Structure 1
Amino acid sequence: MPDKHHTFWLNFLLLHVMMASVTGEDCFDHRTLSDKVSISYTKLDLSHCNITRLQQSTFRKYPNLQILDLSYNALEELDFSVFQFHTALRKFDISHNKLRTINCSTLQYIRGITHLNLSYNHFKNTFLCKEFAILTKLRYLGLSATRIDRYDFVNLAHQELETVFLGLEHLQQYESGSLQLLDTEKLHVVLPQTSMNTTPLYNDFNISTTLELSHILCEETCDLIVEDIDKIIQKSKVSKLILSNVTIPWHGMVKILYISWRTTIEYLSINRFSYTTRSFYDHIDFSPGSIKSLTIENVIPQDFLFSSRKHPLNIFSEMFIENLTMSHSELSHFPCPPWPSIFQSLKLTNNKITDVIFTKCKTLPNIQSLDFQNNVLERLSSIASMTSTMKSLKYLDVSGNRLYCDFRTACQWSQSLLILNISRNKISDSIFNCLPTNLEVLDLSGNQLSSVNNGINHLKALKELYLSSNQLSHIPDCSHMSKNLIYLNIEENIIHSPAKEQLSKCQHVKRIMAGKNKFQCNCELRSFIRTAEDLHESLIGWPHSFTCEYPQDLKGVMLKDFHPSEISCNIFILVGLIVGTMVVLLVFILFLCKCYDLPWYIKMIFQWLRRKYRIRNNNNEEAMMGKSFHAFISYSQQDYEWVTDLLIPNLEKGDNSIKICHHIRDFIPGKAIIENIIESIEKSYKSIFVLSPNFVQSEWCHYELYFAQHSLLGKNSDHLILILLEPIPQYLIPNKYSKLKAIMKHRTYMEWPKEKGKHGLFWANLREAIKANIPLEDDDIYVFN
């Protein structure tokens, strides 16, 4: 049969069905077909398409076609060679067309057919030509005719059929004995609505054990209809009688029931029953007869209106039958039998039965099965009390109601009850304190359960437990359940991260259905997955029904394919890795500090970045106005060689990009030294001080530092650059040089590295620190020889 995907596309095709033209074109435009239509189609519905002619090209896309419905079209002829390549075709419905003839020679192409419906066409007779004898696998045959002759069915005489349908509403002529050639288990006849003599026809209804009579219509006087049915029943060997599409007064139906009671009928079914008058109670002797089972379904009008003092439903409660079904009849009540009944099964589904059903009823000692699904029952305690007098009750179905459990009310169940179905109600967790103790099968699917409490302990005989479609967040603790439990269904709950222990406790359960939950694929699920793989033989649906719901990027991934890394799930490994990485990094940093003086490099880079930031945020153009030099150098005479051989050449480099104020060449002769110092500092953008133990001993260096600090530091502290040529212990600095102490304590200075490999970075950093655009003029440049 087609899967859900195929069904979707089949519906898609039917939405695009196009009306065929008078020339008999296909029912639908093949342009609506695409590669998404699978050649594995096994069922095709082309009914109600106004098709007038079949073409082989229509069905080429469906080589595996098994079921074809062409009913309700406008076909006038039929050539089965259209299906010569469809050897898998088994069911073919071509009813309700305009067929007048069949190309019998082409029946060989459907020799594997099992179901063939040719009813309601324009055949004058049954048109069963001799070629029908090759349909040896035929099990269902649908026909209709206006006349039936003696040997119409001779070509089917050797066929063992399961069902023969005869639509005889318009039958005008019937030759006695015609149906006797048929060998079928079930005969379904739509009774004639004409004035012909039906006695010969009815006499031949004795060819099957199951007889279905349809379209029994009688508005007021129904004696003739009742007599006809009486004749059919009395002369047939039928054991199962089905009456469908029955429109008859209430008293007429009661008569039919009565005449059926003393016949060979064991199973009587009345479907789609519409009665035209008000119902009333009429006492009839329904003492034990041949009928064992009575089924009444789809009663119209949908209410038992009655005009007598005693309810007409008492007719059914007084019947001595084993099985009674009354479904889709809008019953709000069913009376308790007035005396001990032989009812073994009572099915009152799809009605409006309320809690008062069988209240204090003690006349159902033999009842074994009660089915009240899809009614309006509410209080579970009332249902429990109802069963307490039923000593033989084994099966109770109250699914699809409004039942809730009131934990304050005691529940008194029948001790014989073994199977209880309370699915699709409003049951909460308190239900486990209100259950019969001898249950073997319990269905609580589709309720409001969030957990399974210890109240389930007393169900010692429980073998099957259904908990699907609830609100369970964990797998129930099977250690609290019966050791006889062999089946557990917890599908379609909200179980996110079940623990390994929860599943391990259910090892004694032979079959577990836990798929279709909203599994959250994380590290906590790993142990559950390993346990599930170990128990996969008892875990029904593994692995396909077990998929990730969260996180979104893993949605749809099967749990067996979820493999998180060990490092991401083991906290000890993760912490060890982090700590190990930190230790390795720390050792590496210590190695760099010891062997490559890493702090010095970091300090130099930090100073460079800091100066770049300050330069970007300062108004350099305004600060450079009136400046002739980039920097003024102050140093001790004992450090002269370092300044002249290294400092100045590496700063100026002969490209005039940096102009240094050096007292040897830039002081104006004749001026006082103090004046030259002050004027040079004022004309310099920055001041560089080369600090060393020699610097501390120089009076002039102290003056220069004093003047530079007062002239520049107050405006911009970044204009003062300190170079530590050699370390100066604090105790070597005289107290009178308090300014120098304060500056060295609070300001960052650049250290001259002894390693030659660091010199390049030192000079680059120093040049960057003093670099600026100075608008030098010709008269600002002093050259000393």
Structure 2
Amino acid sequence: MDPGLEKEQTKLERGTKCCKSCIIFYILCIINVTAPVDGFSLKTCRISYSTAICIGSKLRAVPGDIPSTVTGLDLSSNRISIIHASDFKDLLNLTWLDLNINNISQIESDAFAGLSSLETLNLNNNKLVTLGENVFDGLNRLTELRINRNRIKQVASTSFKSMTSLKLLDISHNKLHHITKLQLILQHLPHLRELVISNNDLTTFQSFELTNKSLELQYLDLSKNPLAVFRITADVFPNLTWFKIGSPARKKQMIWDVQNKTFLSRVTTLDISELHLGLGDMERLLESVNSSLTILRMNAMTHNLTALINISCTIPTMRTLQLRSNKLSFVNAYLFKLCINVTELDLTDNKIKYIHDDAFKSLKNLRILTLSKNRLPLVPAATRNLPTLSELDLSTNNISTLDCHDFTNQTKLRKLYLYQNSITALKPCLFKDLKGLETLKLQTNQITKLNGAFKEHLPKLRYLYLNINKLTAIKKDEFKGLHSLQNLSLDQNQIEILDHKSFVGLTNLTRLHLQRNSIKQDKLQKGIFNPLIKLRTLDLSENHINYNESRNLPDPPFSQLSHLEELLVFSQHHRLHSYLPVNFLQGLTNLLSFKARNIRIASLDKDTFVYTPQLQLLELSSNELKELPPDLFFPIPNLKSLYISRTALYSLDFLIDANLTKLEFLQARQNLYSVIRKEDIQFLPALTYLDLQGNGFTCNCDNSWFLSWAINDSKTQVYDAYNFTCNYPQEFKSKKLLDFDTRFCSVDMGFICFLCTTCAILCLMVVSFTYHFMRLHLVYAYYLFIAWFFDKKHKNKKTPLQYDAFISYNTHDEPWVIDKLLPKLEGEQGWRLCLHHRDFEPGRPIIDNITDAIYGSRKTICVISRKYLESEWCSREIQAASFRLFDEQTDVLILVFMEEIPSYLLSPYHRMRKMLKKKTYLSWPRAGEHTELFWEKLCQALETREDPEAKTLLLTVPTMP
């Protein structure tokens, strides 16, 4: 192989390896992309636990931006009037849909066709008049349909055709008028279990008009229909266990015709409230359920109440008797004498003022007695004769005093409700017999003193409600006897004084409510909460707790509450700025939730939360914090929810270094920032919900990233983003932020950097390859440019010719020029020649001398050798002369080769090769001993015209191939 080719091949292989390395580096640059935190926003809804909530948004149509992944959709309380066929087509995963309280009057065909997973549909409180053909097509998995309180008059025969899985249908409060319309519905519902058709203006109910076969119904509600006739001629309800019938609108007695008393023999719950039926028919009705009835409701009965009670109490299986709203102002000793099997009696809302002492004497098995919403002035003595009573409800009466004997012998009582009365004080002996009491409700009274009522006697009490009273102090050992108490509600009193032993004995207490009192910070010291070693929730909100400085407290109030999980201290009543002591939370090692909104703190020490490493929810809203130091959050890396609304924050930059990698919920409403930067969000990788309502945003390119992120991405929900408004600049004020057009500022610096880097890499690769394979061509191009530049400078000038020829040669060839060329042409022939060392003007730039010499001579003689081609100045001289030859079309160039030069060495000099292919040249080595011929040819060349089209001289030396 030729050595030159071998060398070129080696260079090519090296270049290929370099190319591969560059390509690999380029690919790595492309794939090195950081995944962003995603975000999204719905125009009128919000997403919570896979449910889209659009309640009360004044919608007139179903939103089109509901994510297809939701399983629940709540569109209640809107103004939707038409359900279109395309409204739910993409919600394939929807299992429940709530359209309650709208203006829906029309449902297009196939509107629900795409909801193949839907199980529950609520269309209550709308304006539907007609259920058209196949209106519910596609709902073959629906199990519950509620369509009450509409105006339905007509039902098509195929409306319910596809609802073969339906188990509950509530079509009450409509205008069906006739039972035959129900037949069109029930024929397609083989698995229906519950049917509610109350208040439909039905005047007759006859089984043969409804169906001719047995139904699987277990629950049937026919109440509030003015039925004149109720007739069952066949056993169409063999599984019915719950039956309700009766209407206040019916003034005349209804005809009851059940031809076989076994037709209703499985009914266990019967509600005949407001039923107007003759006593004989009523006896037959109750007789038909004589063997199965356990619960009977006879509310608001207008006739024969005493007789009905006597009849019903003869049913041996009946256990629960409800007699609400029957205007029983007095309960005599005989009213319930036959109710020996009753275990639950409800006499709510009867305006009862007096109960005979023996009124319940025969109710030996009574366990639950409800006397709420009456006018009792005292605890009736009749309740003392109920040794099995476990629940007594005396709420909402006129009871003002409680005596020690009121609950005598109530050893099995578990629940006692005395709330919403006028009780002013308790007595120490009041609960002495209630050894088994677990729940005591005394809220909403006027109790001012406890008088030691809880120091003993209630060893099993677990829930005590004393809220909304007039207590001003909790004295020492006030709850000492409540060792089992778990929940104590003392909220909404007037408590100012707490003794350091107020809660002694409450070793099992888990929830303590002290909100809305007048407690001050000094009452929290002296270890007041130390006995509450199992406390989980403590509510001290809306009191008067206020600290004047943030220095450490000598006795932190919660130091012994290591099990506390929730602490609420929000909304303290004071006017001046407050502080939170650095060790306020000391001891709360398991605290999960801390709510401290509106306590007028202006700053927080960075060590505030060092005692609460498990904190997951932090609420600091409505405090003038203005800024939050990032290191404040360092001790709470598990934080999931953060509320910082109305805190006068100027930016969210603290999130960058706060290390809140688990934060899922951020509410930051009504602050002072106007720009949300990418850096503020990207450091919250777990964020799923962002609430920024009420901020005045800047509508310019600073928010372009936030706008795009809020609308388009799909991980973080930006709540109510479509209602964000602009506050600046003035021309955009009060306009919607998301209406701002960001197209003109969609400059992605990351993408630009990517493009610049890519272009730089590609340019580097091109330059490397070019230099590696074509560096000689580049050198030639450089000299060519210089020659072109000077040619442009001189070609329009009419320079006078001073010389016959300019001699361009390398210093290595100078002896030949001086010794042979110069004597021959100047000495013998008389030609005037221009030489570097002799004729160049001293002090002028070399390039100017060269240019003037070439353009001031008729010809340029280039003495070419290998050294000549390697010379920088010689290359410039030949390029300038070649420009005159090719660009001016002037024959000025004479080439004289001093040695044989291979063609490949001339390859970078494209113009020289082009010249040699068109013109002859002189070769000194080939002249040999015939030098005279060489000089003769050279003289002829000097004498030829400058027209390049003139006939070329025939030299003895042949042209180069």
The two structures have a TM-score, normalised by structure 2, of 0.46
Task: Determine the structure 1 residue equivalent to 2:509.
Answer: 486
Task: Determine the structure 2 residue equivalent to 1:428.
Answer: 448
- Taking the TM superposition and a 5 Å limit, the aligned residue runs for 1:604-623 are none
Task: Determine the structure 2 residue equivalent to 1:200.
Answer: 233
Letter in 1 for 2:188: N
Letter in 2 for 1:563: L
Task: Determine the structure 2 residue equivalent to 1:509.
Answer: 534
Letter in 2 for 1:239: T
Task: Determine the structure 2 residue equivalent to 1:443.
Answer: 465
Task: Determine the structure 2 residue equivalent to 1:605.
Answer: none
Q: CA deviation at 1:96?
A: 7.0
Instruction: Indicate whether 1:115 and 2:172 are aligned.
Output: no
RMSD in angstroms over aligned alpha carbons?
Answer: 5.2
Q: CA deviation at 1:99?
A: 3.6
Whole-Å Cα distance in 2 between the matches of residues 86 and 550 of structure 1?
Answer: 57
Whole-Å Cα distance in 2 between the matches of residues 318 and 499 of structure 1?
Answer: 58
The correspondence for 1:293, drawn from 320, 328, 331, is 320
Letter in 2 for 1:390: Q
The correspondence for 2:433, drawn from 410, 414, 430, is 414
Letter in 2 for 1:210: W
Indicate how the Cα distance of structure 1 residues 451 and 197 shifts in structure 2: closer, same or farther if over 3 A, else same.
Answer: closer
Indicate how the Cα distance of structure 1 residues 289 and 89 shifts in structure 2: closer, same or farther if over 3 A, else same.
Answer: closer
Q: CA deviation at 1:536?
A: 6.4
Task: Determine the structure 2 residue equivalent to 1:239.
Answer: 268
- Taking the TM superposition and a 5 Å limit, the aligned residue runs for 1:202-601 are 203-215=235-247, 219=251, 222=253, 225=255, 227-228=256-257, 235-246=264-275, 259=287, 262-271=290-299, 273-275=300-302, 286=313, 289-299=316-326, 303-304=327-328, 314-316=334-336, 319-320=339-340, 321-337=342-358, 339-342=361-364, 343-355=366-378, 357-358=380-381, 362-381=384-403, 384-405=404-425, 411=430, 413-419=432-438, 420-433=440-453, 437-439=457-459, 440-441=461-462, 442-454=464-476, 456=478, 459-464=481-486, 465-473=488-496, 477=500, 481-482=504-505, 484-494=507-517, 495-497=519-521, 498-502=523-527, 504-518=529-543, 519-523=545-549, 527=553, 532=558, 535=561, 537-539=563-565, 541-542=566-567, 546=570, 548-551=572-575, 556-557=597-598, 563=604
Task: Determine the structure 2 residue equivalent to 1:79.
Answer: 109
Whole-Å Cα distance in 2 between the matches of residues 269 and 529 of structure 1?
Answer: 59
Whole-Å Cα distance in 2 between the matches of residues 484 and 252 of structure 1?
Answer: 61
Q: Which runs of 5+ in 1 are unaligned?
A: 18-25, 31-38, 567-785
C-alpha offsets along residues 219-250 of structure 1, whole Å, 9 cap, x if unaligned? Answer: 46x4x55x45896786331111123454569x
- Taking the TM superposition and a 5 Å limit, the aligned residue runs for 1:634-673 are none
Secondary structure of the corresponding residue to residue 405 of structure 2: helix
Letter in 1 for 2:435: S
8 Å contact from structure 2 (residues 221, 243) kept in 1? yes
Task: Determine the structure 1 residue equivalent to 2:171.
Answer: 142
Instruction: Indicate whether 1:68 and 2:98 are aligned.
Output: yes
Letter in 2 for 1:502: G
Letter in 2 for 1:418: L
C-alpha offsets along residues 306-329 of structure 1, whole Å, 9 cap, x if unaligned? Answer: 8xxxx5684236522111111122
Whole-Å Cα distance in 2 between the matches of residues 415 and 231 of structure 1?
Answer: 49
Whole-Å Cα distance in 1 between the matches of residues 212 and 602 of structure 2?
Answer: 64
- Taking the TM superposition and a 5 Å limit, the aligned residue runs for 1:681-700 are none
8 Å contact from structure 1 (residues 395, 417) kept in 2? no
Q: CA deviation at 1:147?
A: 0.5
Letter in 2 for 1:487: T
8 Å contact from structure 2 (residues 368, 390) kept in 1? yes
Letter in 2 for 1:240: T
8 Å contact from structure 1 (residues 114, 140) kept in 2? yes
Whole-Å Cα distance in 2 between the matches of residues 560 and 80 of structure 1?
Answer: 58
Q: CA deviation at 1:372?
A: 0.7
C-alpha offsets along residues 683-715 of structure 1, whole Å, 9 cap, x if unaligned? Answer: xxxxxxxxxxxxxxxxxxxxxxxxxxxxxxxxx
Instruction: Indicate whether 1:104 and 2:134 are aligned.
Output: yes
Letter in 2 for 1:473: E
Indicate how the Cα distance of structure 1 residues 435 and 446 shifts in structure 2: closer, same or farther if over 3 A, else same.
Answer: farther
C-alpha offsets along residues 400-443 of structure 1, whole Å, 9 cap, x if unaligned? Answer: 11012266x96464243413221111112234247761241332
Letter in 1 for 2:437: L
Whole-Å Cα distance in 2 between the matches of residues 141 and 341 of structure 1?
Answer: 37
8 Å contact from structure 2 (residues 572, 598) kept in 1? yes
Whole-Å Cα distance in 2 between the matches of residues 481 and 295 of structure 1?
Answer: 43
Whole-Å Cα distance in 2 between the matches of residues 263 and 275 of structure 1?
Answer: 26
- Taking the TM superposition and a 5 Å limit, the aligned residue runs for 1:24-103 are 26=60, 43-45=74-76, 53-55=82-84, 68-69=98-99, 75=105, 78-79=108-109, 81=111, 90-94=120-124, 97-103=127-133
8 Å contact from structure 2 (residues 133, 156) kept in 1? no
Q: Quick check: which one's helix share is greater?
A: 1
8 Å contact from structure 2 (residues 367, 388) kept in 1? yes
Indicate how the Cα distance of structure 1 residues 121 and 171 shifts in structure 2: closer, same or farther if over 3 A, else same.
Answer: farther
Whole-Å Cα distance in 2 between the matches of residues 430 and 496 of structure 1?
Answer: 21
8 Å contact from structure 1 (residues 504, 531) kept in 2? yes
Indicate how the Cα distance of structure 1 residues 70 and 522 shifts in structure 2: closer, same or farther if over 3 A, else same.
Answer: same
Whole-Å Cα distance in 2 between the matches of residues 386 and 396 of structure 1?
Answer: 12
Whole-Å Cα distance in 2 between the matches of residues 182 and 2 of structure 1?
Answer: 42
Instruction: Indicate whether 1:178 and 2:216 are aligned.
Output: no
Indicate how the Cα distance of structure 1 residues 406 and 149 shifts in structure 2: closer, same or farther if over 3 A, else same.
Answer: closer
Whole-Å Cα distance in 1 between the matches of residues 72 and 160 of structure 2?
Answer: 31
Indicate how the Cα distance of structure 1 residues 504 and 247 shifts in structure 2: closer, same or farther if over 3 A, else same.
Answer: same
Indicate how the Cα distance of structure 1 residues 390 and 177 shifts in structure 2: closer, same or farther if over 3 A, else same.
Answer: same
Indicate how the Cα distance of structure 1 residues 94 and 504 shifts in structure 2: closer, same or farther if over 3 A, else same.
Answer: closer
Secondary structure of the corresponding residue to residue 324 of structure 1: strand
Whole-Å Cα distance in 2 between the matches of residues 283 and 98 of structure 1?
Answer: 45
Secondary structure of the corresponding residue to residue 219 of structure 2: strand
Secondary structure of the corresponding residue to residue 188 of structure 2: helix
C-alpha offsets along residues 75-122 of structure 1, whole Å, 9 cap, x if unaligned? Answer: 265435279589878332257745434342763269557333267512
Q: CA deviation at 1:161?
A: 4.0
8 Å contact from structure 1 (residues 265, 291) kept in 2? yes
C-alpha offsets along residues 55-85 of structure 1, whole Å, 9 cap, x if unaligned? Answer: 579999x999955345696726543527958
Whole-Å Cα distance in 2 between the matches of residues 322 and 526 of structure 1?
Answer: 59
Count how many residue pairs are aligned between Structure 1 and Structure 2. Answer: 525
Whole-Å Cα distance in 1 between the matches of residues 512 and 577 of structure 2?
Answer: 28
Higher relative contact order (CA 8 A, sep 6+): 2
Instruction: Indicate whether 1:155 and 2:178 are aligned.
Output: no
Q: Which runs of 5+ in 2 are unaligned?
A: 1-44, 64-69, 579-595, 608-961
Secondary structure of the corresponding residue to residue 324 of structure 2: strand
Q: CA deviation at 1:179?
A: 8.0
Indicate how the Cα distance of structure 1 residues 235 and 113 shifts in structure 2: closer, same or farther if over 3 A, else same.
Answer: closer
8 Å contact from structure 1 (residues 401, 424) kept in 2? yes
Secondary structure of the corresponding residue to residue 385 of structure 1: coil
Secondary structure of the corresponding residue to residue 381 of structure 2: coil
Letter in 2 for 1:399: Y
Task: Determine the structure 2 residue equivalent to 1:656.
Answer: none
Q: What is the percent sequence identity of the aligned residues?
A: 12
Secondary structure of the corresponding residue to residue 294 of structure 1: strand
Task: Determine the structure 1 residue equivalent to 2:948.
Answer: none
Indicate how the Cα distance of structure 1 residues 173 and 475 shifts in structure 2: closer, same or farther if over 3 A, else same.
Answer: same
Task: Determine the structure 2 residue equivalent to 1:690.
Answer: none
